[in-house]
Amino acid sequence: MFPNRLHTSIVVVVMMLVNGCTQTLPLDPLTTQDRQLAEQIARQDSYVHDLLGDQSRLISVGLLFVKPGSPASTDNAASIHRHAEVLFFREDTQMGVRVIVDLTNKSVISSEGIPASQVPLTSEDIRKAAKLALSVTEIQQALGEDLRGFLAAAEGSAKGFEIDGLRLLGGSQNNLCTVDRCVRLLFRRGRDYLIKPNVWVDLTDGSVHVERREQ
């Protein structure tokens, strides 16, 4: 009987250790389930739903530390809750929506609309900008024989060709990219980036701009 009791005791101890090690702490990285839960909580909030309208998409979900005792905190001295920042983009109004979610209480702490210029770029944005640029005759001619490779890259199915994007910010109030979401495209063939075409795209109004070097 003693060996059986010893075996049972070992199993109990191991289970206790495992449970203790897998306990989620406030600053542990968000899991896929956490991100899905954060988006669900945000979208189910009536005020957030009005902010999002019918043409919104998720941009990002990130872990957020809310200091206990701050105006945004719902924590008490006995516990520190897990929070997430959820960013959406509304296509019809070209505005962002920022939502702070309490994952512990499964509730929305705050939500607000933000300018499009404050919404980060996503891979979807870069693909959209690339497709807009590749529809322009001048850019097609500049790429020449490489055009087919970059068209495939815009669809995500190319080998040896890639189109990267960098956020372009305006330096003055008169600059379009101070308000709009703009991306500069970089065309890469193999390990090398092409010197031209030099292209940037305004995702807000869908315009494509080719910069020409002075001779």
What residue segments make up the domains of the chain, in order of their start? 25-115, 123-211
Whether pLDDT at 206 is above 60? yes
Query: Model-level pTM greater than 0.85?
Result: no
Tell me what pLDDT residue 80 has: 79
Give the angle subtended at the CA of 202 by the CAs of 60 and 196, to the nearest 5°: 110
Tell me what pLDDT residue 66 has: 82
Q: What is the CATH number of domain 25-115?
A: 3.10.450.40
Note the pLDDT tens digit of each residue in 3-24.
555 454 444 444 444 455 567 7
Tell me what pLDDT residue 77 has: 42
Closest residue by Cα to residue 206 from 124, 103, 104, 133: 133
Whether pLDDT at 75 is above 80? no
Q: Where are the beta strands (DSSP E) in the chain?
A: 56-64, 83-90, 95-102, 107-114, 161-168, 182-189, 192-193, 198-202, 207-211
Closest residue by Cα to residue 189 from 165, 140, 153, 141: 153
Going by the DSSP 8-state scheme, the letter that residue 79 receives in this structure is: B
Note the pLDDT tens digit of each residue in 20-40.
556 777 788 999 999 999 999
